[in-house]
Amino acid sequence: MHLQAMLKEFYHGRRVLVTGHTGFKGSWLSMWLHMLGAEVMGVALDPPGTPSMFGSLRLHELMDSRHTDINDYPALEKTLRQFAPEVVIHMAALSLVRPSYKNPLATLNTNILGTARVLEACRHCPATRAVIIVTSDKCYRNNEWVWGYRENDPMGGHDPYSASKGCAELVTASYIKSFFPPGEYGQSHQTAVASARAGNAIGGGDWGLDRLIPDCFRALHQGEAIHIRYPSAVRPWQHVLECLSGYLMLGARLCQEGPRYGCGWNFAPMDMGDIWPVGKVVEHICRLWGNGRVVTDQGAQPHEAHMLCLDCTKARIDLGWLPRYRVARALRETVAWYKAWSEDPSPQRMRAVTLGQIQTYMDAVKTEED
């Protein structure tokens, strides 16, 4: 079955709760679920600033959006109990490396204990059949290997953010063993839990501070130089729809086949030719935009991994997931979104652009599957 047909068949009319729906990835996911006909509720704080993907699309008009902090456990549990979601996709997090140095306690609290609170609320929601905890490629203990990390490699973390994501994985594994044991599925519980680790997601509508892609487009839009810190740092770049398609496929499998899919999953580029250094990514964006000037910042910078990539063989073989866009195509789609926004940022226009890119992605999948 083609991806588009499979996702629509499963998610149409299904209750899905997304934490962190006001963020970049959460907004794209919420828009896609709305397009598939799901009944979507979002739980999150307000977007961190203006503009935002959530605001650009006026997503609050298309879904049930709740201003709820995942660290407020009573409110979180009440929301799940009332909405009774069948699928929960947990994406709420403090998601940047450099700010985690400035506010480590908030990062650790939200990303570790916040994850535990979401799992605990799901434990007390009988309607929930599938839970996906989204962490990060930075959850692995980084040895600066040139090959990709596999799902059974050790967790780790040099900086507070990376450590928080490694700990979130451990918390998830402990909840699976303690409260959602596969051997008791269908007896003491009916919930399958998995974690998802993705590479660097890029796409239109990311306005996060201190992130490469939004920093590029802010500078280009304002006619300023683009400042980069580590031009030779290598990352597994992928369009945001790539990892989101993996999350959606995983959610369906968890509901349909239970704990067989209840484990960790990597979603990342499969071709090493798509793992570009930062400098090459920025230069390519400037060419697509039509101009731009790049400056490499000098001086001491907080530690960041130089080499980081994931092995997604398991997702390809066991889940049937495949990345569909090469990094050049992902960058082209990203630039097209921001150019459309710079010409006409109205919600009607940006909804049309966003839905069009989702449809184009699904059509591309169908063409390749044919």
Residue 301, pLDDT score = 56
Taking the C-alpha atoms of residue 357 and residue 204, their distance in angstroms, rounded to an integer, is 10
222 half-sphere exposure, CB direction, 13 A CA radius: 9
How far are the Cα atoms of 240, 303, 332 from residue 204, in angstroms, in the given order? 9, 27, 10
Residue 4, pLDDT score = 84
- Structural domain includes residue 131: yes
251 half-sphere exposure, CB direction, 13 A CA radius: 31
Q: Which residues pair with 130 in a beta bridge?
A: 87, 192
Tokens coding 62: 């298309």
Residue 305, pLDDT score = 56
Supply the range of the domain harboring residue 16.
6-199+240-272+304-326+343-369
Quickly list DSSP for 204-249.
TT---TT-HHHHHHHHHHHT-PEEES-TT-B--EEEHHHHHHHHHH
Q: What is the pLDDT of residues 337-363, one digit of tens each?
A: 999 999 999 999 999 999 999 999 998
- Structural domain includes residue 14: yes
Long-range contacts of 169-174 (CB under 8 A, 24+ apart): 169/133, 169/135, 169/139, 169/195, 169/197, 169/264, 171/112, 171/115, 171/116, 171/119, 172/115, 172/119, 172/133, 172/135
- Structural domain includes residue 294: no
- Structural domain includes residue 209: no
- Structural domain includes residue 297: no
Taking the C-alpha atoms of residue 40 and residue 256, their distance in angstroms, rounded to an integer, is 19
Q: Give the CATH number, domain containing residue 266.
A: 3.40.50.720
- Structural domain includes residue 42: yes
Residue 136 and residue 235 in contact, taking contact as beta carbons nearer than 8 Å: no
Q: How far apart are the first and last CA of the chain?
A: 10
Residue 333: which of 348, 353, 303, 347 has the closest Cα?
A: 353
Q: Which residues pair with 155 in a beta bridge?
A: 140
Q: What is the pLDDT of residues 298-337, one digit of tens each?
A: 665 555 556 778 999 999 999 999 999 999 999 999 999 9
Number of Cβ atoms within 10 Å of the Cβ of 222: 8
Residue 367, pLDDT score = 46
Taking the C-alpha atoms of residue 345 and residue 311, their distance in angstroms, rounded to an integer, is 37
- Structural domain includes residue 211: no
pLDDT by position in tens, the chain (length 370)? 588 889 999 999 999 999 999 999 999 999 999 999 999 999 999 998 889 999 999 999 999 999 999 999 999 999 999 999 999 999 999 877 777 888 899 999 999 999 999 999 999 999 999 999 999 999 999 888 878 999 999 999 889 999 999 999 999 999 999 999 999 999 999 999 999 999 889 999 999 888 899 999 999 999 999 999 889 888 889 999 999 999 999 999 999 999 999 999 999 988 777 889 999 999 999 999 999 999 987 665 555 556 778 999 999 999 999 999 999 999 999 999 999 999 999 999 999 999 999 999 998 864 444 3
How far are the Cα atoms of 10, 18, 264, 269, 287 from residue 354, in angstroms, in the given order? 22, 18, 29, 22, 22
Taking the C-alpha atoms of residue 287 and residue 234, their distance in angstroms, rounded to an integer, is 20
What is the pTM assigned to this prediction?
Answer: 0.94
Q: Which residues of 182-194 are buried (b: 16+ CB within 10 A; e: fewer)?
A: eeebeeebebbbb
Phi, psi of 21 (to 5 degrees): -70, -15
Taking the C-alpha atoms of residue 107 and residue 163, their distance in angstroms, rounded to an integer, is 10
Q: What's the structural domain count of the chain?
A: 1
Cis-peptide, bond into residue 51, ω within 30° of zero: yes
Give residue 35's identity as a one-letter amino acid code. Answer: M
Taking the C-alpha atoms of residue 235 and residue 335, their distance in angstroms, rounded to an integer, is 19
Give residues with Cβ within 8 angstroms of 166, minimum separation 6: 139, 140, 141, 155, 156, 157
Give residue 334's identity as a one-letter amino acid code. Answer: T
- Structural domain includes residue 33: yes
